[in-house]
Chains A and B, each alone.
Chain A
Amino acid sequence: MVWAIDGDGCFQMTNQELATCTINDIPIKVAIINNSSLGMVRQWQTLFYDGRHSFTDLNTGHDTVRIPDFVKLAEAYGALGIRVTEKEEVDAAIKLALETNDRPVVIDFVVSRDAMVWPMVPQGVGNSSVQYARDHAPAWEEE
């Protein structure tokens, strides 16, 4: 069994290969972590560019036009599409994906666009500047 964990941005760069998977009986599972944006760039814009989110909205998530609609897209390619918006739905969706082996499965996990990747060492500084969370740097032993 193979899972792909993708963002909504990178998934759209090769999602046509779902056709390859369905037609060739390659029932992979795809977990789209859909934050409706080019999230890594958005995080840097938030942290280092005064929150100016220049061209990083993808409009695939909550409260957007949802283009594309990943569930419909999955169905168009002959895959099973599942949308998850609530924490309580996570386990059932994964269970259903695990039980579905006659076609690919795409789970659209609709997540917060403001969630960030932590810990993080900002670019251009030493690793001693690692931040555990925003504005939260651990103490380390400088000899």
Chain B
Amino acid sequence: MSITDTPPARNAAAPILTGSGAILASLEKLGVTDVFGIPGGAIMPFYDELMSSTAIRHILTRHEQGAGHAAEGYAVASGRVGVCIATSGPGATNLVTAIADAYMDSVPLIAITGQVFSTVMGTDAFQEVDIVGITMPITKHSILVKTPEEVPAAIAEAYQIATTGRPGPVLVDVTKDAQQNSAPFIWPPKTDLPGYRPVTKAHGKQIIAAAELLSTSSRPVLYVGGGVLRAEAQDELARLVDLTGAPVVTTLMARGVFPDSRREHLGMPGMHGSVPAVLALQESDLIVAIGARFDDRVTGRVADFAPHAKIVHIDIDPAEIGKIRQADVPIVGDAKEVLVELLDATTGLGKPDLAEWWTRLDGLRGDYPLGYTEPDDGLLAPQGSSSGSASSPDRRACTSRAWASTRCGRRSSSTTSGRTPGSTRAARARWAIPCPPPWGRRSPSRTAWSGRSTATDASR
């Protein structure tokens, strides 16, 4: 949705709304239909408005962390923005883990928090915390709203920042007086985001350089991260694999974007990755990183990571390029747009001869398949319950995440330490995906495990 293309409406025609009415109207104008949260003193004016909304369904969680993770799961599964709501002070701080997780995992999230009256801010008022300050390093942007006039632009800017470029969380903190006082509701509002211009289209010269490297390499690996999911570039990725025959590894964030059943898929790389995926990267002469960020759980000791590989690094966030590993060919752009251009540039250059490479990789696959030994205490093996007869689904968490990610066909995921609640996110996902999906190993990525791909499918 374009927010800025049309000029602001005339004041004369604008209805007078309270600030809380303006929050609700702004969310409705942006097409938000589902929000998660818990009321409390400083957000009560907004909850009073929310009660009468027929366009927006509110799910009352039992803890704000649940609301935050629920909104994340909703966003990841549906491809839409997730919205969570909390009151000031403890309500707001309870959102922090979910906001941090959304930041790490590039999940489009709008967190709306109530704040104490602007007249008492800074006095250590009842349930006052500086949530804008607290969330500054874990959001793409945090906005403090102290008047009702500022509300529409703040919500519109939050939506625009959260959903464009590299997605992420934005917090909008609205004082209670801003919610209670009234102002003309002007939509679309005039937004002001100086310097915010995400680059989606890549530089043509770099695309050609990447294509040439790819067609002449003898040990390439496509290192696929969550950016491919966010960009919904699964089809373009599959075509690039068809075209080049190059092996693929998918990170935790990208599980499901390329079918595990395809021969070219070596599995997940990193600390608990498959041996073929880990060693393929180590022994490669070219890594094409697509929407991935050379996380320490993937690289291990960076100085020893893939010592002979040239790096093509594709990412929508220029700050990721060269952050961990120097890129020989840096490409800033949207994964889908870049892959479309890379496909064009690669077509006709000739398929690289990877016969020897595949002999090595197939050997690794034969020697080190994913497997496990039965525990000697007579109890179940965890891998047995999560790969059993029926395979499995969505996961999160510590060992359970690691097991699920290595054993299961595909799904979506998250990074913040792993202690994020599967149950809450799964709840959201269920609710955002009305179609009756797949338990068990179905084939291609379009009907895949990842809630995101499934949701994408359903929406098409």
Contact = CB atoms under 8 A, between A and B. Distances in A.
Interface of A: 1-7, 9-11, 13-21, 24, 26-33, 35, 38-41, 43, 62, 84-87, 90-91, 94, 98, 109-115, 117-121, 123-130, 132-133, 138, 140-141, 143
B436 interface: yes
B223 to A, nearest CB: 12
Contact of A4 (B270, B282, B426): B426
Interface stretch (B59-67, B203-211, B224-232): B59-67
B420 A10 contact: yes
Interface stretch (B141-149, B165-173, B272-280): B272-280
Given A13-B421, A14-B69, A7 B398 contact: yes
A120 B272 contact: yes
Contacts of A90: 380, 384-385, 388-389
Which residue of B279, B382, B425 has the most chain A CB atoms within 10 A of its CB atom? B382
Interface in B374-429: 375, 377, 379-386, 388-390, 392-404, 406, 408, 418-427, 429
A40 B381 CA distance: 15
B380 A5 contact: no
B61 A20 contact: yes
B380 to A, nearest CB: 4
B423 A6 contact: yes
Contact of B400 (A5, A20, A114, A124): A5
Nearest to A15: B423
B368 interface: yes
Interface of B: 59-63, 65-66, 69-70, 77, 270-275, 278-279, 281-283, 299-301, 303-306, 308, 360, 364, 367-368, 372-373, 375, 377, 379-386, 388-390, 392-404, 406, 408, 418-427, 429-431, 433, 436-439, 451
A31 B396 CA distance: 11
B291 to A, nearest CB: 20
B423 A5 contact: no
A117 to B, nearest CB: 4
B422 A111 contact: no
A123 B427 CA distance: 33
Contacts of B272: 117-121
B397 A126 contact: no
Nearest to B375: A112
A111 B385 contact: yes
Contact of B304 (A27, A84, A127): A127
Contact of A21 (B274, B282, B394, B427): B427
Given A35-B399, A126-B300, 16 more contacts: A2-B429, A2-B451, A5-B404, A7-B397, A7-B398, A7-B401, A11-B397, A14-B423, A26-B431, A39-B400, A114-B377, A117-B399, A118-B272, A127-B281, A130-B278, A141-B283
A83 to B, nearest CB: 11
Contacts of B422: 4-6, 10-11, 30
A31 B391 CA distance: 12
Given A10-B398, A20-B60, A33-B386, A27 B430 contact: yes
B430 A130 contact: no
B393 A2 contact: yes
B437 A1 contact: yes
Nearest to A30: B423
Contact of A17 (B360, B395, B423, B439): B423
Contact of A115 (B308, B372, B437): B372
B396 A6 contact: yes
Q: Which 9 A-B pairs have the closest CB atoms?
A: A126-B304, A3-B393, A4-B422, A14-B421, A112-B375, A4-B426, A39-B399, A5-B395, A2-B430
Nearest to B302: A126
A91 B389 contact: yes
B62 A1 contact: no
B278 A5 contact: no
Contacts of B379: 62, 85, 110-113
Contacts of B427: 2, 17, 20-21, 26, 28
